[in-house]
């Protein structure tokens, strides 16, 4: 009996690369997120809730890949949405130009990932050679250039309007895997799209968990803690940081490809805008930097807030309607104000975010 539970534990450890979330509360929360995401189409049937769940899956990958840079390597990039956008445009452009098919999807994804890796390597080698702070400034400039290019290269990207395209038939809402329903749910293309996204996101997350817990990941953490000392130990910090940047860019591009398949559309506002960048930053910091599990919780919190905080704020705004200024502060469009405040408070008082706090409670 204990022998078999031991074996299961070892299998779990292999799956999670020996990096357990830690603490009953955190384990439970993450397990709940996993189970709910895995069963969303059956638990909460409906287009909206499945779309929210798919967004969460994609943003888990996106935020986790950002955490590889921010939390594990200690460098702040503002170009993460650029890589996200490159992945999304890769799929979008391939499906528009070469016709609908899995070949186009794979080609677009591969091209997007390749371009993202090359760009990340160039930016890294150019700026990390000098000072890590240059990296933040340069990525900001490059990200706005990418946004500009996406709106200007109209023939390729569709400009401001973006590209609307068809996805392979299996993923279209009209497609039926079998006639009739299973547990009251139609097995249509939308369901297949969701499970494709869920499976790829889960696999990518576990892969990143594997990478940050490898010797390579340990070097990244050493660089974060003390770049000078890591260099003195013989690790080329520029190379490691650039590799981390390229890896993170590749993951972001893959998340972008998933986003394109989900939306069947891509445009500058959907994947390239600075608002998305702010969302990612909030997810990683609120969830907990340098944990990878943090971004999971952060993505859940942020995406849920995006969809459900606004109605709550509208209620508050209605309640304080007569007051000066307060209605403006509780206007549903001002939801970022409150998340921004939360963000600042977390950076000050809980630099390790939700996950760090929960782990502390376990040990405390």
Partner 1 sequence: MSVATALRWRGGDLAPSLVLPLVALAALPTMSFSTWLTFTIAGIAMGMMLFLMASGLTLIFGLMDVLNFAHGAFVTLGAYVAVSVMAALAGWSAADSWWLNLAALLVALVAAILASGAAGLLFERIIIRRVYGAHLRQILVTVGGLIVAEQLIVALWGANPLSLPKPASFRGSILLGDVAIETYRIIALLLGLAVYVALHLVLNRTRIGLLVRAGVENREMVEALGYRIRRLFVGVFVAGTALAGMGGVMWGLYQELVTRAIGADMTVLVFIILIIGGLGSVGGCFVGALLVGLLTNYVGFLAPKLALGSNILLMAAILLWRPRGLFPVAKE
Residue 231 binds to partner 1 (criterion: CB under 8 A): no
Q: How far is the CB of 40 from partner 1 (least distance, A)?
A: 30
Buried (b) or exposed (e) across 265-300, using 16+ Cβ within 10 A?
Answer: bbbbebbbbeebbbbbbbbbbbbbbbbbbbbbbbbb
Instruction: Determine the Cα angle at 61 with ends 143 and 51, to 5°.
Output: 100
Residue 227 binds to partner 1 (criterion: CB under 8 A): no
Looking at the Cβ atoms of 30 and 70, the one nearer to partner 1 is 70
Residue 337 binds to partner 1 (criterion: CB under 8 A): yes
The length of the chain, given as a count of residues: 364
Which of 29, 71, 27 lies closest to 351, judged by CA?
A: 71
Q: How far is the CB of 1 from partner 1 (least distance, A)?
A: 48
Q: In 3-state terms, what secondary structure has residue 266?
A: strand
Tokens of 176: 């039926």
- The size of the interface with partner 1 (CB under 8 A), counted in residues, is 41
The contact pattern for partner 1, residues 48-87, with x = CB under 8 A and - = no contact, is ----------------------x---x-x-----------
Options 34, 35, 347, 361; binder of partner 1; rule CB under 8 A:
347
Dihedral through CA 79, CA 309, CA 289, CA 240, nearest 10? Answer: -20
Instruction: Give the footprint of partner 1 on residues 263-302 (CB under 8 A).
Output: 274, 278, 281, 285
Q: How far is the CB of 137 from partner 1 (least distance, A)?
A: 4
From residue 294, give the alpha-carbon distance in Å to each of 30, 110, 357: 10, 28, 10
**Using the 8-state DSSP alphabet, how is residue 131 labeled?**
-
**Using the 8-state DSSP alphabet, how is residue 188 labeled?**
E
Residue 228 binds to partner 1 (criterion: CB under 8 A): no
Q: How far is the CB of 318 from partner 1 (least distance, A)?
A: 16
In this structure, what are the phi and psi dihedrals at residue 188, rounded to the nearest 5 degrees?
-105, -175
Looking at the Cβ atoms of 129 and 176, the one nearer to partner 1 is 129
Options 344, 360, 361, 362; binder of partner 1; rule CB under 8 A:
344
Alpha-carbon distance of 265 to 253, in angstroms, equals 15
Q: How far is the CB of 186 from partner 1 (least distance, A)?
A: 40
Residue 152 binds to partner 1 (criterion: CB under 8 A): yes
Stretch of residues binding partner 1 (CB under 8 A), selected from 84-92, 180-188, 313-321, 322-330? 322-330
Stretch of residues binding partner 1 (CB under 8 A), selected from 207-215, 232-240, 321-329, 356-364? 321-329
Q: How far is the CB of 28 from partner 1 (least distance, A)?
A: 28
Stretch of residues binding partner 1 (CB under 8 A), selected from 26-34, 43-51, 233-241, 332-340? 332-340
What beta strand segments (E) does the chain contain? 163-164, 176-182, 185-188, 265-266
Looking at the Cβ atoms of 76 and 192, the one nearer to partner 1 is 76
Radius of gyration of the chain (CA): 21
Tokens of 129: 């050679």
Instruction: Give the footprint of partner 1 on residues 126-145 (CB under 8 A).
Output: 126-127, 129-130, 132-134, 136-138, 140-142, 144-145
DSSP string, 49-60: HHHHHHHHHHHH
Residue whose pair of structure tokens reads 């650039």 in the numeric block: 242
Tokens of 171: 């993923």
Binding site for partner 1 (CB under 8 A): 70, 74, 76, 126-127, 129-130, 132-134, 136-138, 140-142, 144-145, 148-149, 152, 274, 278, 281, 285, 325, 328-329, 331, 333-334, 336-337, 339-341, 343-344, 347-348, 351
């Amino acid at each position: 009996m204990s022998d078999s539970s031991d074996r299961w534990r070892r299998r779990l450890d292999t799956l999670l690369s020996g990096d357990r979330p830690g603490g009953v509360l955190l384990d439970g929360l993450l397990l709940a997120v996993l189970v709910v995401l895995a069963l969303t189409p059956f638990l909460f049937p409906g287009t909206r809730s499945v779309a929210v769940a798919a967004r969460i899956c994609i943003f888990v990958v996106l935020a986790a890949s950002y955490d590889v840079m921010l939390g594990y390597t200690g460098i702040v990039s503002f170009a993460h949405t650029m890589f996200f956008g490159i992945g999304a445009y890769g799929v979008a452009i391939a499906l528009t130009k070469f016709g609908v098919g899995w070949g186009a999807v794979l080609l677009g994804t591969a091209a997007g990932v390749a371009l993202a890796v090359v760009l990340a390597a160039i930016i890294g080698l150019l700026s990390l050679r000098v000072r890590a702070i240059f990296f933040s400034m340069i990525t900001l400039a490059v990200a706005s250039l990418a946004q500009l290019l996406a709106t200007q290269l109209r023939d390729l990207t569709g400009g401001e309007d973006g590209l609307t395209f068809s996805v392979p038939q299996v993923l279209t809402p009209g497609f039926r895997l079998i006639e009739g329903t299973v547990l009251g749910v139609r097995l249509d293309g939308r369901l297949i799209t969701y499970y494709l996204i869920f499976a790829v996101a889960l696999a990518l997350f576990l892969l990143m968990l594997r990478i940050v817990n490898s010797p390579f990941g340990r070097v990244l953490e050493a660089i974060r803690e003390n770049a000078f000392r890591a260099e003195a130990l013989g690790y080329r910090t520029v190379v490691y940081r650039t590799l981390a940047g390229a890896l993170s860019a590749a993951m972001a591009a893959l998340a972008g490809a998933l986003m394109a398949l989900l939306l069947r559309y891509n445009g500058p506002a959907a994947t390239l805008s600075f608002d998305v960048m702010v969302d990612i930053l909030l997810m990683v910091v609120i969830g907990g930097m340098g944990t990878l599990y943090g971004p999971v919780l952060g993505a859940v919190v942020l995406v849920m807030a995006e969809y459900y905080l606004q109605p709550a704020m509208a209620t508050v705004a209605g309640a304080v309607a007569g007051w000066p200024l307060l209605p403006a502060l509780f206007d549903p469009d001002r939801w970022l104000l409150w998340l921004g405040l939360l963000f600042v408070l977390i950076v000050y008082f809980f630099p390790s975010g939700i996950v760090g706090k929960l782990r502390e409670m376990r040990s405390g």
